[in-house]
Structure 1
Amino acid sequence: MAPYLESVTSFADVPVTDAGVDTVKFLEASDGLVGLFDLLGSTAFSVVQSDLRGNIVKVRTRYEATPQQSATLESLVENEKAEKKRTATEGLMWLLRGLSFTCKALQNAQANKDQELAQNFTKSYEDTLKKFHNFVVKGIFTVAMKACPYRKDFYEKLASDPSGGPPATQDKLNTELDKWLAALSSIVTRMENFYEKDGHNKGF
């Protein structure tokens, strides 16, 4: 098996057309991002993983119920507008926020190689999720940020081959990670604009 990023669906491989973001591939890539938190090796992040997984389930459940009307994320949200409860629309909104948090944290790590992950994740939290959280949840996330592993250990896990083969070089890892994050950032920005422009984030 290849190192982690090659073992999951990359956001760079999620088809994005004029019609929208491919729902199935997006959910597969989101599953891969959730697994990334296992590499952080702290139970403190279980709350983040649980939140992401729960929102993925909400979107996937809607897709499976209405596959023809939900081929893209945009069509899934548009299709659910007529429902009394827009469970998938709200779930996707929170999933995008969680993905944005993770994306910005790792982009911070890539841009500031002399900083530890705790700093990178804390800054990202302050820039993304913090404004949406109450006092209790803020406290939980503060604990999680402090529990980040050392940067060196995380990057070694990211590069290692679980099957025992040679690890990815730092250059290869940086190239793959930057590509993965750029695609994720582009999708999140696109969907955030879609929600804002058409008012899909209203009522939650």
Structure 2
Amino acid sequence: MSTFFDEMKKSFADVPISDSKIDTAAFLEASESLVKLFDLLGSSAFAVVQKDMTGNINKIRTKLLADPSGAGTLQDLILSEAGGKTKTATQGLLWLSRGLQFTAQAMRETVNRPADELTKTFTDAYGKTLSQFHGMLVKPIFKLAMKACPYRKDFFEKLGADQAKVAEQLEAWLKALENVVKTIMDFFTSGNYGKGL
């Protein structure tokens, strides 16, 4: 029986990282697969999250296609734009990474707190991650999305019928996602590359 994770084009667990550098093409495929997770949450309120993430994926992909050697890893991509005026891909990566950080936090809270419903775990995760970067116009949209989360039981059933397999795959995917997000965020911090973006 296949699960949501079996059907992914690429899992974060399969994204190559060498010398702390993350392969851009694989990262983009894994990010696109993650965006589909919001379909399972079943609320149109999450469309804004998906649209934002997809827009940022496209900014990074445009850069990768234009400069395959200079943007082969996410770190190289950031460095290739660091000295220039245009930092479209870097900005896209920063915001996509924040979205991934929120998703990782939301899923981690959900896994670690089996008694809590998704409305609670996702709202808490939003407060710990994206909320600080959102202004007065965006916050209410996201808070509405969190309130529209499905029941925990229904969400996990959508991930797959074999719950033991789902739990195992979710943990492997989540650990890898958390590692990728930490690696990117640490790199942004190391050179203050996100300044003014």
Q: Determine if the TM-score, normalized by the shorter chain, exceeds 0.5.
A: yes
Letter in 1 for 2:4: Y
Alignment of 1:145-184 (within 5 A): 145-159=146-160, 167=161, 169-184=162-177
Give me the identity figure in percent: 48
Alignment of 1:29-48 (within 5 A): 29-48=30-49
Contact 2:56 2:95 in 1 (8 A): yes
| Aligned mates of 2:147, 2:133 — CA distance in 1 | 20
| Aligned mates of 1:77, 1:7 — CA distance in 2 | 30
> Given the two structures, how large is their TM-score scaled by the length of structure 2?
0.97
Letter in 2 for 1:198: G
Tell me the equivalent position of 1:163.
Answer: none
Tell me the equivalent position of 2:63.
Answer: 62
Tell me the equivalent position of 1:125.
Answer: 126
What RMSD over aligned residues (CA atoms) do the two structures have, in Å?
1.0
| Aligned mates of 2:27, 2:2 — CA distance in 1 | 21
Q: Deviations over 1:26-69 (max 9, x none)?
A: 00000001011001110000000011000000011100000011
> Given the two structures, how large is their TM-score scaled by the length of structure 1?
0.94
Contact 1:19 1:72 in 2 (8 A): no
| Aligned mates of 1:152, 1:121 — CA distance in 2 | 15
TM-fit CA distance, 1:19: 5.7
Q: Aligned pair in 2 of structure 1 residues 152, 200: CA closer, same or farther (>3 Å)?
A: same
Letter in 2 for 1:147: A
| Aligned mates of 1:203, 1:154 — CA distance in 2 | 37
Q: How many pairs were matched up?
A: 196
Alignment of 1:10-159 (within 5 A): 10-18=11-19, 20-159=21-160
Q: Deviations over 1:53-109 (max 9, x none)?
A: 000000111000000111100001111223311000011000000000011101111
1:7 is paired with a residue whose SS is coil
TM-fit CA distance, 1:2: 2.6
Tell me the equivalent position of 1:197.
Answer: 190
Letter in 1 for 2:177: L
Unaligned 5+ segments in structure 2 are none
TM-fit CA distance, 1:129: 0.5
1:31 is paired with a residue whose SS is helix
1:68 is paired with a residue whose SS is coil
Contact 1:116 1:151 in 2 (8 A): yes
